[in-house]
Amino acid sequence: MNNKLIILENIKLALIYHGDNLLNIFMEHKFYPINKIYLGKISNILPSLGAAFIQLDKSKGKNGFVHFDRLNKEQSKNWLQNSYKNKHFLVQIIREPIGNKGPTVSTNISLKGKYLTLQPFQGEKKVYRDDDTHKEYLHALRCLLSSKRLHLSVKKESINANIDFLLIEITNLKSSWIKLVQKSKSSALPSSLNEKKDFISKLLADYKNVKFEFIHIDSYIKSFTIKKILSKIDIYNNLKSKTRIIYHKNKINLIKHLSLDLIISDITKPRINLYTGGYIIIEKTEALTTIDINSGSFKSLPSSRQTSLWVNYLAIYEIAKQIKLRNIGGIIIIDFIDSSNQYDQMKLLRYIDTLLKKDQTKCTIVQVSELGLLELTRTRYGQSVYDAFTRKCKMCKGLGYTSTNLNLDRLNFYPILLERSPIFLKNQ
């Protein structure tokens, strides 16, 4: 087993360990989590960009951003382009805020269950499945499609699911949708409509197949929630081994006891050393993330080609790990060491492709450029560690340099030399 889970419930952060190795960081935006539904109001329309800004709540929060191609089929693009401000409609968060950018929203509302996803605005009565299944299963699904206008997506895992469970799930999804529509008719404009899923429940649902030996948490009440959820999971999976739930009364003591501040500080640093003497540098910008591989002090092999290939192999393994751990999304550019040889390039491409396929978030290799740069993309989902734990330096505004025009000794302060400085427990 040897798995450990650390939960800082107050700041919506969890760390998953296997032994002493940090496997993953689970985070959730406190105000605009993915899948949350709002009754939004048009704030500004940008026809030249094919998009609009949507006010999501009455507070001074960030406006949502919606592309015209993310409108549901009942909404005409011309209607939105020609509409006036203060028009309102339902929108759902599909991407959390990144930096100074607000959340991305869509009018294609979807209510997700364990096996089924209800999409009320699709307007087509269909079932999407990955494989053909038994007649009994298909007949049950036809019974579920009792509404005149209903789009239902079915996960392939539902093939082995209990039919009664599927019936209950679709009933609950329909009920949730009816309640949400009723609430939208009486709610103030703009406002949040659905309560977001509890952080602990969502976390344990995503890792229901992982058996944790220890769970550390900073909330006394939520420790009982964990115990209740785990008891149901144990019955479902027939697990007999028990998980120790350790409550830490003081979250500061929890951070110091498990050295979480050092762990987060280390994971936001740009340089990662390889055990051979080489290292990689990860730099994130607004447009993309660059990863540079360096051989460093590694000189063990007889030829430069062998040395480059070996260091590149080691770096790829660490890069795949860091991309997942830091939750880096968008465009990623990797600069290999001396990768002009096409035969070596194919070896590296096959290896990184094998590693990226293990990532639950979709990664796509685009090409190797004429300069030998590997271009790939990773779907943005949730916050990266940079968005969650860092901020731009107030001195250099994110450039990573200090000005030489100032007399620093006379000003009697020490400027921050790093581009970003870690922030821990923002809401303490």
User: pLDDT digit string (tens) for 214-245?
Assistant: 888 888 888 888 888 888 765 545 555 678 88
Across 18-32, 121-135, 182-196, least confident range: 121-135
Among 280, 261, 256, CA closest to 422: 261
Among 269, 261, 265, CA closest to 400: 269
| Containing structural domain, residue 296 | 265-428
Give residue 415's pLDDT band: very low, low, confident or very high (50, 70, 90). Answer: very low
Tens digits of per-residue pLDDT, 251-303? 677 777 777 777 888 888 899 998 878 899 999 888 899 999 998 877 777 77
pTM listed for this prediction: 0.72
Residue 27 vs residues 12, 16, 161, 296: alpha-carbon distances, Å: 6, 11, 29, 34
For residue 355, the one-letter residue type is L
E strand map for 3-60: 3-8, 13-18, 21-27, 37-46, 51-55
> Based on the domain organization, do 78 and 147 belong to the same domain?
yes
Give residue 413's pLDDT band: very low, low, confident or very high (50, 70, 90). Answer: very low
- Give the total number of structural domains in the chain: 3
Task: Give percent above pLDDT 90 in the chain.
Answer: 11
Last residue of one domain, picked from the residues 172, 195, 218? 195
Last residue of one domain, picked from the residues 163, 178, 195? 195
> Based on the domain organization, do 322 and 401 belong to the same domain?
yes
DSSP designation for 40: E
List of residues 6+ apart from 370 with CB closer than 8 A: none
> Per DSSP, what are the bridge partners of residue 112?
117
Q: What is the structure's pLDDT at 237?
A: 54
Q: Give the C-alpha separation, 364 to 329, whole Å.
A: 11
DSSP 120-173: TTS---EEE-SS---HHHHHHHHHH--SSS-EEEE-GGGGGS-HHHHHHHHHHH
Give residue 144's pLDDT band: very low, low, confident or very high (50, 70, 90). Answer: low
pLDDT at 81 over 60: no
Contact 116, 169 (CB under 8 A): yes
> Based on the domain organization, do 185 and 102 belong to the same domain?
yes
Q: Give the C-alpha separation, 182 to 55, whole Å.
A: 20
Q: What is the structure's pLDDT at 121?
A: 76
> Based on the domain organization, do 187 and 216 belong to the same domain?
no
> Based on the domain organization, do 135 and 62 belong to the same domain?
yes
Mean pLDDT of the chain: 76
Give residue 422's pLDDT band: very low, low, confident or very high (50, 70, 90). Answer: very low
Query: For residue 160, what is the domain's CATH number?
Result: 2.40.50.140
> Based on the domain organization, do 247 and 322 belong to the same domain?
no
> Based on the domain organization, do 345 and 301 belong to the same domain?
yes
> Based on the domain organization, do 344 and 273 belong to the same domain?
yes
> Based on the domain organization, do 19 and 164 belong to the same domain?
no
Q: Give the C-alpha separation, 299 to 27, whole Å.
A: 40
* Residue whose pair of structure tokens reads 């995503």 in the numeric block: 206
Sheet of strand 126-128: strand arrangement: 111-112, 116-119, 151-154, 126-128
Higher pLDDT pick, 122 / 350: 350
> Based on the domain organization, do 220 and 330 belong to the same domain?
no
Q: What is the structure's pLDDT at 404?
A: 53
> Based on the domain organization, do 331 and 415 belong to the same domain?
yes
Q: Give the C-alpha separation, 36 to 110, whole Å.
A: 10
For residue 78, the one-letter residue type is N
> Based on the domain organization, do 205 and 191 belong to the same domain?
no
At 308 the three-state DSSP class reads: helix
